[in-house]
């Protein structure tokens, strides 16, 4: 792999910081690193490969000479800078939702549809975190028989709402321990000692935008335009790593034994049958690493062709930053 010039747009945020960490972990040969952010972030110092590098304010002229730009910003900022990134000749790997459903932009999980990345026209989209984790868990089974539909319930950590989500849970737990009333700012209601069964904005069909992402994005990633997914997204008082309960129905019957073997063999996935005396993973098991852990694979009691499973994955890493760096690595190695 040749030495690369890499910019990180949104370098001071939780995902941007993780991208910087993973670029170093994966030993990507970065010749020039350009951390970019808002005017408010400009001048802050970030550490990379033993150097202290100042964050620069992102402008349309920032991307000249870059090979790749990793995006860790909200959709509006992503759309704002995408034309300038494309004009510069860099490949933009975007973690926001801005381009995920654009038919001209590949939506990629390298282990599942990595070949799609090479069909890009300057932009590649990173899927939603729960979409990545759930599809990684079921992709091995889909190789045995196409998946017709899925019912998913997500249990999403507060870090999915960024640094503000982490801070709010910590502050509320501290307040409760002191006998004080928790302050609610980031979430719709108290998250400490509670769960919130609605994430993101309404979609317009009694579901939320977060809940529709698994179907809309899953169809593109799995090359399954008729895939049906019913999803309920729940915010839980967990710091990091999302958990998902999935019930799926395949075109032809897949036995539990065959499903376990397929999951165990799939790259980037770990089958849990006996881990520290239990048959399931937890968020703490999967925090700060890139493998999706899957357990409790069992026969669905409502459908002969159905299977039910439980999976956990670090949504900041594999659900966001690591997936983006893996796309970069895939393209750079090919070149």
Sign of CA dihedral 24, 50, 7, 10: positive
Q: Which residue has the tokens 């849990």?
A: 272
Is residue 163 very low, low, confident or very high in pLDDT (cuts 50, 70, 90)?
A: confident
Residues 32 and 148 in one domain: no
Closest by Cα among 335, 253, 322 to 26 = 322
Residues 330 and 279 in one domain: no
Residues 202 and 91 in one domain: no
Quick one: residue 27, left, alpha or beta (phi over 0 = left, psi -120 to 50 = alpha)? left
pLDDT digits (tens, 9 = 90+) for 80-109: 999 999 999 999 999 999 999 999 999 999
Contact 10, 62 (CB under 8 A): no
Is residue 1 very low, low, confident or very high in pLDDT (cuts 50, 70, 90)?
A: confident
Question: CATH code at 78?
Answer: 3.40.50.720
Residues 121 and 135 in one domain: no
Per-residue tokens: 289: 């690493």
Catalytic residues: 129, 242
SS3 328: helix
d(CA 110, CA 10): 23
Residues 153 and 96 in one domain: no
Residues 182 and 310 in one domain: yes
R_g (Cα) of the chain, nearest Å? 20
Residues 123 and 216 in one domain: no
DSSP class of 238 = -
What is the predicted pLDDT for the residue at 128?
Answer: 97
What is the predicted pLDDT for the residue at 334?
Answer: 86
pTM: 0.96
Residues 52 and 141 in one domain: no
Q: What is the mean pLDDT of residues 141-155?
A: 98
Residues 139 and 236 in one domain: yes
Residues 115 and 153 in one domain: no
Question: CATH code at 292?
Answer: 3.30.360.10
pLDDT digits (tens, 9 = 90+) for 241-286: 999 999 999 999 999 999 999 999 999 999 999 999 999 999 999 9
Per-residue tokens: 30: 């970065």
Q: Which domain holds residue 237?
A: 131-315
- Residue 335: pLDDT above 80? no
Domain count across the chain = 2
Cα 45 versus chain centre, distance: 26
Residues 116 and 35 in one domain: yes
Residues 166 and 311 in one domain: yes
């Amino acid at each position: 792999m040749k030495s690369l010039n890499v910019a990180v747009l949104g370098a001071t945020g939780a995902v941007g910081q993780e991208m910087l960490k993973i670029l170093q972990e994966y030993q990507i040969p970065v010749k020039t690193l350009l951390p970019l952010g808002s005017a408010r972030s400009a001048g802050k110092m970030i550490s990379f490969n033993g150097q202290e590098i100042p964050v620069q304010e992102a402008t349309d002229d920032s991307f000249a000479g870059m090979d790749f730009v990793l995006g860790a910003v909200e959709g509006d900022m992503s759309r704002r800078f995408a034309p300038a990134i494309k004009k510069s000749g860099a490949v933009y790997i975007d973690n926001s939702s801005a381009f995920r459903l654009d038919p001209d932009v590949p939506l990629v999980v390298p282990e599942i549809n990595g070949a799609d990345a090479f069909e890009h026209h300057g932009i590649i989209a990173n899927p939603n975190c729960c979409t990545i984790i759930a599809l990684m868990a079921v992709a091995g089974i889909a190789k045995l028989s196409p998946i017709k539909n899925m019912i998913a319930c997500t249990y999403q950590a507060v870090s999915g709402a960024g640094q503000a989500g982490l801070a709010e849970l910590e502050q509320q737990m501290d307040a409760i321990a002191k006998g004080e009333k928790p302050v609610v700012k980031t979430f719709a209601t108290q998250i400490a000692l509670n769960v919130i069964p609605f994430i993101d904005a309404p979609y317009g069909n009694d579901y939320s935008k977060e809940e529709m992402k698994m179907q809309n994005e899953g169809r593109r990633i799995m090359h399954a335009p008729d895939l049906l997914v019913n999803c309920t997204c729940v915010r839980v008082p967990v710091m990091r790593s999302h958990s998902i309960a999935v019930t799926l129905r395949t075109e032809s019957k897949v036995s539990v034994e065959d499903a376990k073997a397929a999951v165990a063999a799939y790259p980037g996935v770990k089958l849990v049958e006996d881990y520290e005396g239990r048959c399931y993973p937890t968020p703490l098991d999967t925090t700060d690493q890139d493998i999706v852990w899957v357990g409790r694979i069992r026969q669905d009691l409502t459908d002969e062709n159905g299977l039910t499973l439980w999976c956990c994955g670090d949504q900041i890493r594999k659900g966001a930053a690591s997936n983006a760096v893996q796309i970069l690595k895939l393209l750079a190695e090919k070149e």
